[in-house]
Structure 1
Amino acid sequence: MTTKVKFTNTSRSPFFATVRQRVDGYFTDKAISPHANSAMWAKALFFLVGYAIFYGLILSNQFGPWTMLGLAVILGVFAACIGFNVSHDALHGAFSAHPWVNKLLGGSFYLLGANPYVWKITHNIVHHTFTNIPGHDEDIEVAPGLVRLDPNEKLQPWHRYQQWYTIPLYSLASLSWVFRKDYVKFFKSRIGHHDTAAHPRREHFKLFMSKGLYYVFFLILPFAVLSLAWWQILIGFIVMHLAEGLVLGLVFQLAHAVEGTTFPLPDEKGNMQEAWAIHQLHTTANFAPRSPLAAFICGGLNRQIEHHLFPKVCHIHYPAITAIVKDTAQEFGLPYLENRSFGSALYSHFRLLETLGRQ
């Protein structure tokens, strides 16, 4: 994609200036920081310690194969929750006012077998700027050619059945991340239209070193200390990542690929028709906004509208600013998309896949 996308009409709508002033006013009036509070630190500690405990239980070699398999599933879910609740906020600079704290906690992304540097380019820069814009937002390219999320993509015969096979494909997301995605993204010259031809030398070292250590701790070390057959260990590793990938894939897709969200294209000059903040409202949706369990597990990603508008605000505050954002959007006559539950969002995603799979 050579045409550079531009949001040229940012001055036409005072929506973002208004909602930002109101959200800033909320933190000022309450005299609280937009970063992590004690509840957020407790939640981060819960997932990090839980991850360490389940990993230790597996390496203790004190359980039978079926129990070990169950522990592998739980470890995969905890890894995804670390990504949602710790890494994501830290890599956005939202966890702490101190950059070194964010950098340290952002390193928890390595526990997923993923690379923080590559993620900050593909997610923070590209996805958050060009949300749902085909050819620019690579987060909507689940499996190019196999899954059709871009209404402008050529329709293939197998797309008729994509609502049935796409969701199981999300299980492969984590395995792809560990063995393929980071390498491919790192060595691409461009992601969307963002130039990625030259990376700092230290990032080359970090990529290969971190991947190597992950393979050691999750493949070589278990082979060395566990009294299981090699194929049992391999199955456990795969199952762990299938659980992790399914959780990651579903949470991210339910925020941008449900009924009501759009996939807008720029004009021939690369100009978008809406201001950036309004574009976010058209391409993003919340799900289960009133569920304490969803808020705890998803790290605020069930409130993606608030996250996309205020990525520097820690997600622990999203429930408090949701009413501000929603009321302001309605005041300006703008959409505010939400599904009441995880189940309704999942069904909406299913129906969208079904719609896009037909002419």
Structure 2
Amino acid sequence: MALPKFAATRSFHTELRTRINQYFEESGRQTTGDFRIVVKAVILIGAVVALYTHLVFFTPPTAWALLECVVLGCSIAGIGFNVMHDGAHGSFSNHPWLNKVASFTLNVMGGSSYMWNAKHNLIHHTYTNIEGHDDDIDIRPFMRMTAEQPRYRLHRFQHLYFWFLYCMLYISWIFVMDYQKYFKRQIGAAPLRPMDTSDHLVFWGFKALNLVLYVALPIYMVGFLPWLTGFVLSAAVAGFVLSIVFQLAHTVEETAFPVPHAVTNKLEDEWAIHQVRTTANFATDNRLVSWLVGGLNFQIEHHLFPKISHVHYPAISKIVQQVCQEFDVKYTNYTRTRSAVVSHVAFLRQMGQMA
């Protein structure tokens, strides 16, 4: 499948870049993270290490252990949002080696930073919400996320059972999807860039490490059933939190799902306008939400400027909104998280029922 082409005009993007660059020049700030992101990294990574150590080596009482597993799942998602995500985009620090270390937290948690870079940074951030290209909206056959995808009878109930599939994201990610991409050598319709020897070693080395840390060692220390209960619970919590945050950014009632022209394979909008139309913000005035999800509630700003750290999104969002207003580009922002969740559920219901 040929990759779609965006409109050649770039006036909107040019104006955005000019004003954002001016903001950083006048403020004297760097576009990468500052002490705030380092503090978050220390807190979240420290929480995961402490919880893992207590659960595996000190065997707390059942009720307490279950609570710790829930917090562990949230902390794993928090590292993904706040540390790995910025590191993978090269925005965690102005030191490349520190960005790589931050991105490698995904490998330690069982994923593959190599596959993430191809799937998320290169494909999703370019062809957002385009059927057949954006792997994030391909949950077939269990869910229908665009009008172009085939509709099955079970989709009528997807707005009711979606939560279960979202809980399964983390488990399927580390045990299934990474391997599918590795052996198929492609993500969606896009071929995967050839891996060199070090890429293969990192992929298999960290997959083995993950099995030791999260499967073999806990089973040895606490037994199979306690491990299975704790692992499934923490993985389900992490999977749901990760899924719902990313889904609120792109699959709600107000976001667009552009279709390339059947003959020319061209899209109507330039790349930057496409990113705004296919993306939504939520709860941007809620500092706690912004802290917990690594600024991914400012998803529009992130898609326009992925190499700018999330700690700067609240400031630059005002600039982005102003430019959108001047160019008559719709800027979608749900004032509360629950409003975005309601819209997402309504979107799923609509996709499940419409022909």
> Which residue pairs with 2:260 in the alignment?
266
Q: Counterpart in 2 of 1:222?
A: 218
Matches within 5 A, 1:267-282: 267=261, 268-282=263-277
Q: Paired residue for 2:16?
A: 19
Looking at structure 2, the residues matched to 117 and 330 of structure 1 have their Cα atoms a distance apart, in angstroms, of 37
CA contact (8 A) 1:173 1:246 kept: yes
Letter of the 1:341 counterpart: R
Q: Quote the residue 1:122 is aligned against.
A: 119
In the comparison of the two structures, how many residue pairs are matched?
A: 353
Aligned pairs for 1:160-171 (under 5 A) are 160-171=156-167
Structure 1 residue aligned with 2:207:
211
8 Å contact 1:160–1:354 — kept in the other structure? yes
Q: What residue in structure 1 maps to residue 291 of structure 2?
A: 296
Distance 2:65 2:207 in 1: 24
The equivalent of 1:343 in structure 2 is 338
Aligned pairs for 1:110-189 (under 5 A) are: 110-141=107-138, 143-189=139-185
Matches within 5 A, 1:1-150: 2-7=1-6, 9-11=7-9, 13-141=10-138, 143-150=139-146
Q: 1:319 aligns with which of 298, 314, 330?
A: 314
Which stretch of the first structure deviates more once superposed, 99-108 or 240-249? 99-108
- Normalised to the residue count of structure 1, the TM-score between the two structures is 0.96
Pairing of 1:237-248 with structure 2 (within 5 A)? 237-248=231-242
Supply the AA of the counterpart residue of 2:265.
Answer: G
Match of 2:347 among 324, 347, 352: 352
Q: Which residue of 2 aligns with 1:195?
A: 191
Q: Contact 2:34/2:93 (CA < 8 Å) preserved in 1? A: no
Conserved 8 A contact 1:76-1:244: yes
- In 1, Cα distance between equivalents of 2:183 and 2:330: 38
1:134–1:265: 8 Å Cα contact kept in structure 2?
A: yes
**Aligned partners of 1:181 and 1:62: how far apart in 2?**
32
Superposition deviation, residue 190 in structure 1: 2.6
Q: How does 1:246-257 map to 2 (within 5 A)?
A: 246-257=240-251
Contact 1:280–1:305 (Cα < 8 Å) also in 2:
yes
Cα distance in 1, alignment partners of residues 103 and 169 from structure 2: 20
Q: By how many angstroms is 1:183 displaced? A: 0.7
Contact 1:55 1:75 in 2 (8 A): yes
Shift in alpha-carbon separation, 1:62–1:172, aligned structure 2, 3 A: closer
The answer as to whether partners of 2:129 and 2:257 remain within 8 angstroms in 1 is yes
5+ long unaligned stretches in structure 1: none
What code does the residue aligned with 2:131 have? P
Contact 1:73 1:243 in 2 (8 A): yes
Q: Once the two structures are aligned, what percentage of the paired residues are identical?
A: 37
Deviation at 1:157, TM superposition (A): 1.4
SS of residue matched to 2:333? strand
Distance 2:140 2:59 in 1: 43
Q: Match of 2:187, as an amino acid? A: I
- Shift of residue 193, structure 1, vs aligned partner: 3.8
TM-score in terms of structure 2 length: 0.97
Q: What are the superposed Cα offsets for residues 124-173 of structure 1, whole Å, 9 maximum, x if unpaired?
A: 000000000000001111x2022010111222211111100112210000
**Distance apart, 1:105 and its partner CA:** 1.3
Q: Which residue of 2 aligns with 1:234?
A: 228
